[in-house]
Structure 1
Amino acid sequence: MELPPLFDLAAWQSRGGAHTAGEIVQQPALWAAVADLLETAQPSLEAFLGSALSQPEQRVIFTGAGSSGFIAEMVADAINAQWPADIRAVHTTSLLTHPQLYLKADRPTLLVSFGRSGSSPESVAVVEQVQASVPSARFLHITCNAHGALARHGSGRQDTCSLLMPPDSCDQAFAMTSSLSCMLLAALTVFDKAPWADRVARLRTLADHGRAALHQWDAAIAALAQWPCARVIYLGSGPLEASAREAALKVLELTAGRVLALSNTPLGFRHGPKSTLDGDTLVVMLRSAQPLARRYEQDLLDELRSDGIAGRVISVGPSSAEGAEGDFVLEAPDFSDSWLAPLWLLMAQGYALQRSAAMGYTPDNPFPDGTVNRVVQGVTIHSHG
């Protein structure tokens, strides 16, 4: 079956994937739009944050569920390394079940919530829980839906700031693609310690490289998706560990769980998970921009290719990393792994879309029976105490 280019939205319309394909390829334009948006919002954001990040007693919790939780993981450590404040990622699904492990009434706390729709049951429940547990808490909602519960909740509140992404970032397809990358880059821009102008310039630079990546990789992604693998394993270290989890989730979602997708770190993979390899397995390494991490990654790539157990082993990353035939490489800017993650996720999103189509699924709605929904349903929120 011949698969259409990512940019051929008419062809994707007939395959039930026009929303997903369009939302993947629109991302570089949206990243530039986020840059414009944040330039305008800079004064209000800086006034809201004040000096909080410079205070060691300040706690900042990045949170979300599913893909939004992976955004939190991709952001938190990179930001924590820059500031005296205690900054960490905790999924809403953990905050709801074990709040006593993460919340302290006497610690000033800023909860940063990510939400595409902003209407997942856990989103507002966690905000309300933190309000009840930490009287002095403040809230920053980063969301793509101006009409969602998160955005409505923050309206008119002195303790809350809502940062709305460009309207087109509120993906209509089942899987989060442009919503994820926009919220990720917005958080990095808002919380990074570099001068504000430099942060916004990074967004525009990434947009240029994102356009190049989509055009450069398009045919190769479609060709890779034709290979009938039974499982996909994404590997990544540092912030790219969460990127690997997100990449694996895209495969699970868009193939309706029929392709088993796993994730791990390059070093952790040898500690048991390597036993999952067989001739029907595709291994994808998300390459770090950091030289030390790249040495460990290359060791494992060499090992996997020498073993010959996995069906295919490829990597995705900057051209400065050592490459092999079939790898997805890009002349990338000299940014940190968190900032470069959206570029590597373009490949993972495109692959999941094309693999879904190759298997005969409709990527915009791979679960027509409603087993899994675009906005999570069926969650009962239980009281704490």
Structure 2
Amino acid sequence: MNEKLRNIGNHYLASGGGNTICEIFQQPEMWIKTAEIVASQHDQIRKFIEIITREPDHIIILTGAGSSDYVGRASHVSLNPFFHHRIRSVSTTDIVASPRDLLSPNRPTLLVSFARSGNSPESVATIEAADSICEKVRHLVITCNSEGHLAKLGKSRTDFYSIILPAETNDKGFAMTSSFTCMYLAALLAFSSRDSLEVMLNNLQAVSMATIRVLNDFEEIERIVSDYFFERIVYLGSGVLKGIANESALKMLELTRGKVATLSDSALGFRHGPKSFLNDKTLIILYLSADLSTYRYEMDLLKELSAERRGNKIVAVTNHSAPDLEKYVDFLINAELPMVNSHMIALVNVVIAQLLAFFKSLKLGLAPDNPFPDGEVNRVVKGVTIYPI
């Protein structure tokens, strides 16, 4: 840990947030380390993937539980256009409960498992279910723990390929922070072509610098929490940013011990019932897309929500300056990345959500490193019985 991170951690140590804040702040460095790991293995990873993708009726399933599930939800939107829309995101919890409904015995399957610890019972059970049901299946594991069950399982099998991320990404804090963003980034890089890999690596430098600016100005995020006491929060995003909205809402729910009610949706989907969630104690976070056609729909919703405000507040998170945007919101966060697509901007947006949840947790008198000291909710899920298929 470098001196800056050590000082940040020490500052929040007494309030029970030293690990979490360090793991939030270390992310730009971890992204570079993750990129180096994946880039150094890129040819081997692609050869492993192509054993399945060259089959005419193949399917790729991205899977995980909780935040690891949201890695799949976000990344499959980014990856699908490059794989003939044959990628699905299905949680391990759904597969374990209904494996024959969600796994195909006849289609060659690449099961991509995301796991911070690699020890969740559903992660292991999903692999066992796929081995039992699918006639032809290979496993790509992206994990933060070289000593976890999934990583060890991969060492003894030729139908496995494990991408082990930097040890620091195996977050010590309760909530997944650097583990989430590094697994998401690793998926984008692993499935990229050689040409697109180079583009993403170049963009990653800009995204890392933008995130460092956000982190250096963290008081701007803290001010949202201090200026407005919200009891509910809504995260809205479209495309890949809907998966990021899902993860953002979960971070707030976890770190505030459920004291802040959370909701996530797409910009267009929000009008269809979920908008009923709004009251005068609701903070709305709108992730604006870098895609112009999507952005138009989001701006229409933003103008509508702005006109209908009744004590609630709105935050817009954008990657570029736009005329008149400020007049529709109470808080504006600009990552200043006009030439970068939403798939990469997603990394910055998650960090903003993590900071917001961290400071709200402190505001409520909780310890972000362990908001559930009595163990009602655990860092690695406990109490799950796995039954035979």
Common fold: TM-score over 0.5: yes
How does 1:254-293 map onto structure 2 within 5 Å? 254-293=255-294
353-362 vs 149-158, which deviates more?
149-158
297-306 vs 120-129, which deviates more?
297-306
Matching residue of 2:388: 383
246-255 vs 332-341, which deviates more?
332-341
Matching residue of 1:210: 211
Matching residue of 2:13: 13
Listed one character per residue, the Cα deviations across residues 114-170 of structure 1 (whole Å, up to 9, x for unaligned) are 000010110010001101111320000000000111101111311000000011001
State the AA in 1 paired with 2:153: H
* CA drift at 1:194: 5.6
1:344 aligned to 343, 349, 361, which one? Answer: 349
Distance 1:7 1:305, change over 3 A: farther
Runs of 4+ in structure 1 over 6 Å off: none
Paired residue secondary structure (2:317): strand
Hey, what's the Cα distance between the residues in 1 that align with 2:211 and 2:6?
13
* CA drift at 1:199: 3.2
Please provide the CA RMSD for this pair.
Answer: 1.8
Q: Which runs of 5+ in 2 are unaligned?
A: none
8 A Cα contact 1:7 1:22, kept in partner:
no
Paired residue secondary structure (2:377): coil
Listed one character per residue, the Cα deviations across residues 253-276 of structure 1 (whole Å, up to 9, x for unaligned) are 001000101111111111111122
8 A Cα contact 1:247 1:345, kept in partner:
yes
8 A Cα contact 2:70 2:243, kept in partner:
yes
Count matched residues: 379
Paired residue secondary structure (2:285): strand
Matching residue of 1:155: 155
* CA drift at 1:279: 1.1
How does 1:34-73 map onto structure 2 within 5 Å? 34-50=34-50, 52-73=52-73
State the AA in 1 paired with 2:346: A
* CA drift at 1:54: 5.0
Distance 1:333 1:142, change over 3 A: farther
8 A Cα contact 2:69 2:90, kept in partner:
yes
* CA drift at 1:44: 2.1
Listed one character per residue, the Cα deviations across residues 62-100 of structure 1 (whole Å, up to 9, x for unaligned) are 000010000001011221111236111001111111222
Listed one character per residue, the Cα deviations across residues 173-202 of structure 1 (whole Å, up to 9, x for unaligned) are 000000000000000011124613333333
How does 1:136-155 map onto structure 2 within 5 Å? 136-155=136-155
Q: Which runs of 5+ in 1 are unaligned?
A: none
Matching residue of 1:296: 297
Hey, what's the Cα distance between the residues in 1 that align with 2:251 and 2:35?
26
Percent identical pairs in the alignment equals 39
Paired residue secondary structure (2:83): coil
* CA drift at 1:46: 2.4
Hey, what's the Cα distance between the residues in 2 that align with 1:295 and 1:87?
27
Hey, what's the Cα distance between the residues in 1 that align with 2:56 and 2:7?
47
Hey, what's the Cα distance between the residues in 2 that align with 1:113 and 1:321?
39
Paired residue secondary structure (1:8): helix
Matching residue of 2:372: 367
Hey, what's the Cα distance between the residues in 1 that align with 2:32 and 2:208?
6
State the AA in 1 paired with 2:41: A
State the AA in 2 paired with 1:359: L
Distance 1:85 1:292, change over 3 A: closer
* CA drift at 1:339: 2.1
Hey, what's the Cα distance between the residues in 2 that align with 1:299 and 1:194?
38
Paired residue secondary structure (1:229): coil
* CA drift at 1:236: 0.8
Hey, what's the Cα distance between the residues in 1 that align with 2:76 and 2:274?
26
Paired residue secondary structure (2:60): strand
Paired residue secondary structure (2:259): coil
* CA drift at 1:42: 1.8
